[in-house]
Chains A and B, each alone.
Chain A
Amino acid sequence: QITLKESGPTLVKPTQTLTLTCTFSGFSLSTSGVGVGWIRQPPGKALEWLALIYWDDDKRYSPSLKSRLTITKDTSKNQVVLTMTNMDPVDTATYYCAHRMTGGSGSYPGAFDIWGQGTMVTVSS
């Protein structure tokens, strides 16, 4: 059974750097085709894709946020870390991590098929 859980601060100040950790179980990020993505959702608004990291350390970022984001993985700890620099109140959102298999792999290829519960981050001074 695949599970993911996000963790990190609930409150950050403007200009600070946010560091979020996704801890997962039920799969390995060293297995071919496996990826973990980050998606966020401001209160009352739509989902927004942020970043993806794959088993081979290939990394993809949202073009609009690329300069502020870094995604890394620690295969031994079953964790993926997302950092976002220069936080602003508009970055207030629930941040989700999700499991994804590449287009030719897994039960539901290409989909964010399993999501974490999300963690709410508020940016305020």
Chain B
Amino acid sequence: SYELTQPPSVSVSPGQTARITCSADALPKQYAYWYQQKPGQAPVLVIYKDSERPSGIPERFSGSSSGTTVTLTISGVQAEDEADYYCQSADSSGTYKVFGGGTKLTVL
């Protein structure tokens, strides 16, 4: 089955830059999406189509793509950014959607 690979955890101090990666073979062909999930809450879309930011999402959230890896970057991390982050994409045909295993962002 097709999988997206994320690091289980990332830790940064407030004000620093956090980078969360997501890797898979089909990412050069399929867009990636990023979701933020805080405890007890539903996921919230923070990046779509690799690098686009939805309305209402702070500018410190950005996305990029290079080959088989996409990256969510949070610049000037704030305590409120502590959450689980999931990438989502599709297999090479675009038919089957898939989520990564999630990355827990800890703000030290």
Interface residues of A (CB under 8 A from B): 37, 39, 46-49, 52, 60, 62-64, 96, 103, 107-113, 115-118
Contact = CB atoms under 8 A, between A and B. Distances in A.
Contacts of B35: 47, 112
Contacts of B60: none
Nearest to B95: A60
A72 B32 CA distance: 27
A112 B102 contact: no
B49 A109 contact: yes
Given A46-B101, A46-B102, A108-B52, 6 more contacts: A37-B97, A49-B99, A60-B95, A113-B45, A113-B54, A116-B42
A39 to B, nearest CB: 7
B107 interface: no
B99 A47 contact: yes
B55 to A, nearest CB: 8
B48 interface: yes
A108 B54 contact: yes
A111 B45 contact: yes
Nearest to B2: A63
Shortest 8 CB-CB contacts between residues of A and residues of B: A115-B42, A111-B48, A47-B99, A49-B97, A46-B102, A108-B48, A111-B33, A46-B101
A48 B86 CA distance: 11
A111 B88 CA distance: 9
A112 B43 CA distance: 9
A110 B48 contact: yes
A63 B90 CA distance: 12
Contacts of B96: 49, 60, 62-63
B42 A49 contact: no
A117 B42 CA distance: 6
Contact of A112 (B88, B94, B98): B88
A124 to B, nearest CB: 22
Contact of A48 (B44, B45, B48, B99): B99
Given A39-B99, A111-B33, A118 B48 contact: no
Q: Give the interface centre of A107, A111, A115, A116 by most chain B CB atoms within 10 Å.
A: A111
